[in-house]
Amino acid sequence: MKKRSTRGTGRTATKEGQRSRSRRVEEAGVRVIGIDLGDRQSHYCTLDAAGTVIERGRVVTTPQGFREAFGGRDRARIAMEVGTHSPWVSRLLKDLGHEVLVANARKVALVFKSRHKRDEVDCESLARLARLDPKLLGAIEHRSQPIAEDLAMLRSRDVLVRARTKLINHARGAVKSAGARLKKSSAEAFAKHATGQVPDSIQHALSPVLSTIELLTRQIRDLDDRVAELGETRYPETELLRQVDGVGPLVSLAYVLTLHRPERFKNSRAVGAYLGLVPARCQSGKSDPQLRITKEGDGFLRRLLVQASQRMLGRFGTDSDLRRFGLALSATGGKNAKKRAVVAVARKLAVLLHHLWRTGEVYEPMKTANTILPIAPATVAA
């Protein structure tokens, strides 16, 4: 029997797939609900199997409010945009037996770029997208409650560190304005060293700042101990990641908590794109300009990987394939060569950490450099 050619039918096949998914929803009689989450009240819109609006309403954005509004319903497909309330709302609705889709805001331009944006319209748009094809939402997966709590501790530490940095910069600037200068010191020892160097004219003004810096330093130190303890007791897989120079307890724990499971990614290279460390694309015809990295994904982990990359390429970094790659790239010249090298090493580091986590291999810093290519035997003339 002669096979039927499918060349040139990609678009038709895609439309047929969308229609089949829509028919499956109609045949199953599953209702689709779109929710526009608000800080105090959330709007929702319900579609029946035929796509007709059968209900509109509002619900108080509290756990009790959502239980009362959606607890007694038959299983439905519920779509919402990612946001501040989406983690706990999605977990609650899943516990109530519903199928929950958390839409990636970057993928739903129909909602956030609308010129007639209203809560009632947004929730209906989400419902219709979820009914047509869930892939259009670019659905994301929220972390479980225990992992979210552990990650919140790391983010709290990050906020404290940035607050301490701002206070230190303020103190140094105030002292310079008074005609003096504070000596160089680490952030951990800044409050102790600066106390005797502040001029008497601004001693009263900076005393509360120095006390706060000292308090923040103690709190950051306590959180560092908790981070190290978590990595050793609850997340032993972080030991695999700490084999790499520049990756300590903080970076390894943040990496594991953010990615959650290594099998989420088909291959290790996908992690670089997931964390926004790959260049954006805007190709059209023959135009394909070189753009900056996308900076999508988790900004906290991306910043930690960049910091680890900077340490690798710094004066205290140990020799490795990654360091040699970054130094060679930064030596190519140009105004932004070093910045590009740091980002490139951070991307390779993200890929390497996922590979170590997935395979459990022992890290070899000089694996590429120590590889000796086989020499082809000399040919003998006849």
The CATH number of residue 55's host domain is: 3.30.420.40
Do residue 250 and residue 229 come from a single domain? Answer: no
- Examine the domain organization and report whether 109 and 81 are in the same domain: yes
Report the b/e string of 171-207 with b at 16+ CB within 10 A: beebbeebeeebeeeeeeebbeebeeebeeebeeebe
Three-state DSSP class for residue 58: strand
DSSP, collapsed to helix, strand or coil, labels residue 47 as: strand
- In a domain, residue 62? The reply is yes
State the total domains in the chain.
3
CB-side exposure of 259: number of CA atoms within 13 Å?
A: 31
The verdict on 227 and 322 lying in the same domain is: no
Same domain, 191 and 265: no
Range of the structural domain that residue 91 is part of: 25-137
The residue from 137, 170, 196 where one domain ends is: 137
Please, what sign has the CA dihedral across residues 14, 15, 20, 24?
Answer: positive
Long-range contacts of 149-157 (CB under 8 A, 24+ apart): 150/230, 150/234, 150/253, 150/257, 151/254, 151/257, 151/258, 153/223, 153/226, 153/227, 154/227, 154/250, 154/253, 154/254, 154/257, 154/300, 155/300, 156/223, 157/220, 157/223, 157/224, 157/227, 157/250
Q: Flag whether 168 is in a domain.
A: yes
What pTM was computed for the model?
0.81
85 and 162 housed in the same domain: no
Residue 368 lies in a domain: no
Closest C-alpha among 32, 43, 46, 99 to residue 66: 43
Tell me phi and psi for residue 103, to 5 degrees.
-75, 140
Sequence-distant contacts of 186-191: CB under 8 A, at least 24 apart: 187/217, 188/217, 188/221, 190/217, 191/217
162, 129: one domain: no
Q: Provide the β-strand partners of residue 45.
A: 34, 56
Task: Give how far Cα 170 sits from Cα of 211, 213, 214, Å.
Answer: 14, 11, 15
pLDDT of residue 374: 52
74 part of a folded domain: yes
> Is residue 8 in a domain?
no
Do 249 and 213 have their domain in common? no
Residue 373 lies in a domain: no
**Single residue among 137, 161, 191 that ends a domain in this structure:** 137
Same domain, 131 and 30: yes
Burial of 62 (0-12, 13-18, 19+ CB in 10 A): middle
> Which domain-ending residue is among 112, 137, 162?
137
> Is there a single domain that holds both residue 227 and residue 200?
yes
Do 36 and 117 reside in the same domain of the chain?
A: yes
Query: What token pair was written down for 340?
Result: 């590009």
pLDDT digits (tens), the chain, 382 positions: 444 444 444 444 444 544 454 444 444 568 999 999 999 999 999 999 899 999 999 999 999 999 999 998 999 999 999 999 999 999 999 999 999 999 988 777 767 666 677 888 889 999 999 998 888 888 888 989 999 999 999 999 999 999 999 999 999 999 999 999 999 999 999 999 998 899 999 999 999 999 999 999 999 999 999 999 999 999 999 999 999 999 999 999 999 999 989 998 989 999 999 999 998 878 788 887 878 888 888 999 999 999 999 999 999 899 999 999 999 999 887 778 999 999 999 999 999 999 999 999 999 999 887 765 454 454 444 3
Residues 163 and 107 in one domain: no
Question: pLDDT value at position 2?
Answer: 44
CA dist list (Å): 306 to 1, 154, 286, 350, 351:
58, 17, 33, 10, 13
Residue 320 lies in a domain: yes
Distance between CA atoms of residues 50 and 29, nearest Å: 9
Is 119 part of a structural domain of the chain?
Answer: yes
Judgement on whether residues 105 and 183 belong to the same structural domain of the protein:
no
Position 342 scores a pLDDT of 94
